[in-house]
Every structure is written in structure tokens, then in C-alpha cells.
Structure 1
Amino acid sequence: MSGAASPGLPWLQAPLRELLATQRGHAVLLAGPPGIGQFELALALAQAWLCEHPDAAARPCGGCASCTLVQARTHPDLLVLLPEALQEELGWAAAETESEGKAKAAKAKPSKEIKVEALRRAVEFAQQTSSRGVAKVVLVHPAERMNAISANTLLKTLEEPPGQARFVLSTEAVDALLPTIRSRCQLQRLAPPSEAQAREWLQAQGLAGAEVLLAAAGQLPLAARQLAQQGLDAAAWQQLPARLAGGEVAALAGWSVPLAVETLQKVCHDALCVTVGAQPRYFPAAAFKGLRAGLPALTAWGAELRRVARHEEHAWNAGLMLESLVAQARRALHSAE
């Protein structure tokens, strides 16, 4: 795509062109697995809708005043709704004074929901006249983070949109959305890029051990890059099952509880695969060499990890929780001895 909203994700170029050529209504819903760039595509689509280039085929051009404003996060006709917990990660954090930031930090953890107040603001925004005379665009990501009240607040505007309003919603869990929301949007399903394309892109980002980290992320390239940004390298990933089997709490030192649980679920999944003679998905088979894990214990360990994952927002003592998780891993990975 020619605009700068998502220039480095080549697998999004075809979906963007398809959407621009086939768009039928005022609302689009992008659905696909996490880690492939739904937000980047949603932003590129919004930029294309707002682009002021005279040739429609060239939108988003990346060079007009409107595209420049989108890239600077200051376009007056674009409203991006994100949970507080994702705003900084996606580069869309609202500016705030130092005192406001300290007050927010002291008050509570950033919310993972898109709150009803934000949707009310979006409804009001959509009803206003376009500042630049092209369109008003509301972007909601991830749409499944709207609770029932928030979603119903948006629903009426989706049913009867003001003339210049357009909406782009992106989701990693399309079935979690209200059927009434889904039915009022043009659905575009997104597939992950091929392994070769994802690996080539990661290598172009300067990521060492791209193939290993891509497997670690379930073949999702943005998730693989995030693992690298969190300090994980290919060698450490390959050594992880053996270190857990040895009871090394240091293998997870500094990890958040949600990341540790997600990683241990991958270890458990692949240990189960190896135990029944199947090919592991996230780790090379050699990573489990010498480990003797029993099927009943691995099954019970997987169930316990799912239970912990359901309560990952609990105010755990991270150090004690990681010790407990590593102890469980050690027992399960030696359970056949």
C-alpha cells in the first residue's frame, strides 16, 4: 500500500485494495487471529477514506495533508477508540500532564475494556460535520473489548449512520461480538501470511532467529516481533522446556504472569504432542529430548494452566506465582519417571 499507515506489512496490501474496491456500506468489520495486523489495516483503511488525493486508485497516498494528519495522530475527522491498556503499545496514547499521569497510575491499572463513555463520544463525533469535508471515521479496536452496554451504544448509530460517518471495527474474536453489530458491518476475514512471507518480513526487521520466534508465536509475525521486543531470543526459547524441567525459576525471571502462563501452555501443548508421537508446534522436537512426561500429568497440568489463565488479572504476587508455575512444570515434565 502506498500510504504510511502500514507500509511494512505486505500481506495487508491485497485485503486493503479488495476492501476499497468492494466496499458496499458505511461500516467494515475486520476479523482475524491476533498478531497479523488488524489495527494496522483498520488505520490504513481509515486513512484511505480520508485521503484527499484526486485519484481514488492512489488512496491512501501518504503525502496529502489528510494522510499527514492521520500519520501524526491529529486528524480532526478520525476518532480511534482503544482500551487504555493498548493505547501506549499501539502508539495512540492521549497526551496528559505529569500530574494526570501520576493520578491515573495511583488510581488503577489501565482498563482492557472500551468503555461506554468512549462510545458515547464516538456517537457524538460521528454526528458532527466533517472538518475537512471528506468523511468522519471512527475506528474501534479490538471491537470485542466493548461490553454489552458499549456495543449497544454504538448499535443505533451503525443502524442509522449520519451521512458522512464511516466505521471500521477490528476484532480477534468475531463470535464474541453482538450479532446485531456483525450484521450491520461488511465482514472482511483476514488470514495470516504464509510462513515464508512472515519469515522474510521478520528478517527484514533485523530479527535474529526469525524462524524459531515465528514458531514460538504460532506463525503470527507481529506476535513474534513482540516476543523479541520483550527480550526473548531464539536460543532462550529452545532451551526453555529443559530449564523448566530442571526447576529453574530464572527461566521466567521478569516475565508477567499472563506471558508466563501463555508460554507454559505452549510448552504443555508441545509436550503432549511429543508424548503421543505428534509433531510439536511451538518448539523444535529436540527441545524435549530426554524429558519423560506422562499423559495424565500433562493433561492435568494443561487444565490447571487454563484455570490460572482465567484469573490472570488477579493481583498475584508475581514472584511467588512464577515459582509455583515452574514447580508445576517440573513435576509434569518428569511425571513418567
Structure 2
Amino acid sequence: MASKPDKPGGDGAEGRLGLDAARLPWLADTLTRTLASQRSHALLVSGPSGVGQMAFALALAKSWLCETPLADRPQRLACGHCGSCHLVDERSHPDLRLIVPEALRGEVGLDADEPGEGDGEGKSKKAKPSQEIKVDQIRTAIGFSELTAGRASTKVMLLHPAEALNTISANALLKTLEEPPGALRFVLSTSSPQSLLPTIRSRCQAIVLPRPEAAPAIAWLAGQGVDRPEVLLAASGEQPLVALAMHQAGLDAAAWLALPERVAAGDVAAFGGWALPQLIETLQKLCHDRLLVSVGAAPRYFAGARLVPGDVARLTAWAADLRRQSRHADHPYNAGLALEALLAQARDMGAAPRSDAASARPLRAGGPIHSRP
């Protein structure tokens, strides 16, 4: 049986994979241009999920804090070998404050067992990690911003994902964002800039990351050892970092293409280790592609798999029900029963022809799968 998969979420795969934006071909040019043209103390980095917002934001912070003279750094990129660069990689630089929701601490390289900034000592250990950036974290960070820099000429506050700011914490950030003390720089990364307060957006220089083109993304994935990378790139919704995380978690192209048949067969054992949000999102992709096939269009996520056309009205109703269930996927009364019910519902949408691939080993869940059809 598959081991329990990582919980989907944000660009957390970047923290676990330790990726350098300067080595991601679809981000390298944008990173160089941003370092050369920066005109604001606050940057808002936005782009599609899974393309590297977090890696890009860290690359900016690393370059700003790098101790190697600019004359010795082509294109202002971090040198990668000085003491400051090492401390950033270890998430222990005294002049860098990385502000993330408690639930993402482990995913971005912070100690998940330590309390986040502003967490009370009396907090129950059984409490579910927060998905928000709380006001106490912002207040603690503001206190950090007012201190003298420890070893650099500037200090950096990095918030990820910025849409995790709730209304109170966003308002608490505004004054410091508008009038930062000393040589303080901000970088906020997000896949949903429209969800931020207009007053936050107006105080930042916008940096928009490009969606990777297929050819360089496939070539990069192949260089990371991914077999049939075009399949996993499509499965991830053209998000190469997510595709790489899927590969490293054990989900290969053959298993992904066999998935529609295993769903149609109601093969509950194949999904025994899957987190409920991940299963729902995968079923959303399957429903999306079956709708496309039913109206004569090509599938997006399961290109190359055998998909059975269905009744458009029923599939549309199924899609709406999956959206409803996704809102509560993190808080099921009984995850096992919910998984069985979801697969029974999917099986009722229509069975596919069986193949040898569908009777292969149980599927392993592929890490964070967080695109939305």
C-alpha cells in the first residue's frame, strides 16, 4: 500500500526540493531583469502556482544579502558560496525574516516543530496548524524590522504566500510597508494577487512570473530524472515543480495514465494512502478531462489515457459536487469513509475498459497536486 502522501499546498514543494530560481530556465531571465530594474523597497512576486514564486522570492533575498561585492557577481545574482548565502540556504540568516503560515513551516525549510513568530506558549499541541499568516507574526516581524541589521547592510522580510494574510494581519503590515525603517526590503510571493488588499498591492512593485513553455519545462524535468516528463507536466497542470514533486513521491507516468481505469473500477485499495484533498483534486482533473472528451475536445491532464465520454449534465453536476466537497476536505468526519464514498461516486460516473496497466501495483500519491481545473 502506498505511504501517506504529503499534503498539497501552495509552492511548498520548492522548500522541500531546495530549488534555486537561477537554475530554473523559465525564471532566470526574469530574475536577472528584476535585480537590474528594482525601483521599490517592496516587490510583489506573482505567477501561476507551481512555477517557483517561493524560489524566486528567496533568490531575490539571497542576492540582496549576498556578501560578495557586486563587481564580482554577474547580473547581481547571489554568489551561492559566501557565509550569507549559506545562512539563507539554512534559513538562519539574522537579517532575513521568512513569514509563512504555521502549516507551511516544514515545507519551506523552517523547523516545523518550533512555534512560529507570535505563537503563544499555551497553544494546544493538538491544534491544527494554521493556514493563515496571523497578526502576531506580523507584529513580531515589525519588531525585527526595527532592529539594527546583524551582518548585512539591509534587512529582508519575505512573506509567502501573501494571500494567507488575513485582514487584521494585512492591515498591521500596511504602515511598515509604506514607511519601512532603515534599509528594509519586502518581497511578497503569491499566486493570487487579486485576493490581496488593494492598499497592499499599491505599495509594491509588481513582478509577474511567466508560465513555463512546455519544451524547456520538459527538458528540465528530463534533466531531473523524470521519465516521460510530458505526462507528469500535463498531470500537474503545466506546473513543473509540482510535476517534479509527483515524480519524487513515486507517482510515475504509467501509474498516472492508469488512474482513470482504477477510479472507474472503484479500486479503493489503490488510493489508501492518499490525503483526501489530493484525491478530490485528482478527481476534479479527471472530471474536467472527461467533460472535454464528451464534447469532442482533447483532455488536458490525462492526455494519452483512455477516457470514457459521459453524459455532460451528469459530469457537470459531479464537478459541482467535487467543488463543494473540496471546501471541507481538510475537516472530514471520517476520511476513510469519505474516500470510499468519493470513489463510489466516481465509479458511478461510468466505467472504462480494463487494461493490464490498471491491475498493476497500487498507486503512490504524487506529493502536492494543487492546480485547479
Regarding TM over 0.5, the answer is yes
Against the structure 1 CA distance between its residues 5 and 216, is the aligned structure 2 distance closer, same or farther, given a 3 Å change threshold? closer
CA shift, 1:58, in A, is 4.0
Q: Does 1:85 align with 2:80?
A: no
The letter for the 1-side match of 2:30 is P
CA RMSD of aligned residues (A): 2.1
For 2:288, the equivalent position in structure 1 comes to: 269
Against the structure 1 CA distance between its residues 297 and 13, is the aligned structure 2 distance closer, same or farther, given a 3 Å change threshold? same
* 1:153-209 alpha-carbon deviations (Å, 9 max, x no partner): 111101111121000000011111000000000001112211111111111111223
Higher helix share: 1
Task: Identify which of structures 1 and 2 has the higher relative contact order when contacts are C-alpha pairs closer than 8 Å and 6+ apart.
Answer: 2
How do 1:188-337 and structure 2 match up within 5 A? 188-288=207-307, 291-334=308-351
Q: Does 1:15 align with 2:34?
A: no
Give me the whole-angstrom Cα distance separating, in 1, the residues matched to 2:111 and 2:21.
Answer: 18
CA shift, 1:326, in A, is 0.7
Aligned match for 2:133, one of 114, 118, 123:
114
Against the structure 1 CA distance between its residues 66 and 292, is the aligned structure 2 distance closer, same or farther, given a 3 Å change threshold? closer
Answer whether contact 1:28 1:167 (CA < 8 A) is retained: yes
Give me the whole-angstrom Cα distance separating, in 2, the residues matched to 1:172 and 1:96.
Answer: 27
Answer whether contact 1:217 1:282 (CA < 8 A) is retained: yes
Give me the whole-angstrom Cα distance separating, in 1, the residues matched to 2:220 and 2:339.
Answer: 33
For 1:61, the equivalent position in structure 2 comes to: 79
Against the structure 1 CA distance between its residues 35 and 133, is the aligned structure 2 distance closer, same or farther, given a 3 Å change threshold? closer
In structure 1, the gaps of 5 or more residues are 98-102
Give me the whole-angstrom Cα distance separating, in 2, the residues matched to 1:255 and 1:10.
Answer: 31
Give me the whole-angstrom Cα distance separating, in 2, the residues matched to 1:227 and 1:302.
Answer: 23
> TM-score, normalized by length of structure 2?
0.83
Identical residues among aligned pairs (%): 55
Secondary structure of 2:206's match? Answer: strand
The letter for the 2-side match of 1:23 is Q
Give me the whole-angstrom Cα distance separating, in 2, the residues matched to 1:80 and 1:285.
Answer: 41
Answer whether contact 1:279 1:285 (CA < 8 A) is retained: no
Structure 1 stretch displaced more, 181-190 or 48-57: 48-57
The letter for the 2-side match of 1:42 is A
In structure 2, the gaps of 5 or more residues are 1-18, 116-121, 353-373
Give me the whole-angstrom Cα distance separating, in 2, the residues matched to 1:159 and 1:260.
Answer: 42
Give me the whole-angstrom Cα distance separating, in 2, the residues matched to 1:62 and 1:169.
Answer: 22
Give me the whole-angstrom Cα distance separating, in 2, the residues matched to 1:185 and 1:292.
Answer: 47
Q: Does 1:167 align with 2:182?
A: no
Counting matched residue pairs gives 326
Secondary structure of 1:11's match? Answer: coil
Answer whether contact 2:95 2:152 (CA < 8 A) is retained: no
Aligned match for 1:71, one of 89, 108, 112:
89
Give me the whole-angstrom Cα distance separating, in 1, the residues matched to 2:124 and 2:285.
Answer: 32
Give me the whole-angstrom Cα distance separating, in 2, the residues matched to 1:58 and 1:31.
Answer: 21
> TM-score, normalized by length of structure 1?
0.91
The letter for the 2-side match of 1:329 is A
